[in-house]
Amino acid sequence: QVHLVESGGGLVQPGGSLRLSCAASGSNLYSMGWYRQAPGKQRELVARITSGGSTNYAESVKGRFTISRDNAKNTVYLQMNSLKPEDTAVYYCNTAPNYNLSWGQGTQVTVSS
């Protein structure tokens, strides 16, 4: 079973940037995604990357977020720029578009002045 560990979250002002990382415990050649869950809302998929590097994004983050991966390091990244208060959420990674692995603990992103 592959275990996922997310990191890189924090408190940032509107307009700021963060880079999230998702490290997998074993070989990870799956199509992967970053999900987020805001308080009182359902978890949503915001970015996806295939094993070959093709990407797609939710409309709400398109042009601001960039997903990437390093298969040699079994790690997936999410570069988040021009952050908005509505990006505040716990961010998770998992296979995408359907999550098939156990969820990690997530990493909290808070965008506030």
Residue-wise pLDDT tens digits, 38-64: 999 999 999 999 999 999 999 999 999
Q: What is the spatial distance between Cα 23 and Cα 66, in angstroms, rounded to a whole number?
A: 17
Q: What is the spatial distance between Cα 5 and Cα 55, in angstroms, rounded to a whole number?
A: 21
pLDDT of residue 60: 97
Residue-wise pLDDT tens digits, 73-85: 999 999 999 999 9
Q: What backbone torsions phi and psi does residue 31 show, to the nearest 5 degrees?
A: -70, 125
Whether the predicted pLDDT of 106 surpasses 80: yes
pLDDT of residue 43: 96
Q: What is the spatial distance between Cα 113 and Cα 109, in angstroms, rounded to a whole number?
A: 13
Residue-wise pLDDT tens digits, 7-40: 999 999 999 999 999 999 977 778 999 999 999 9
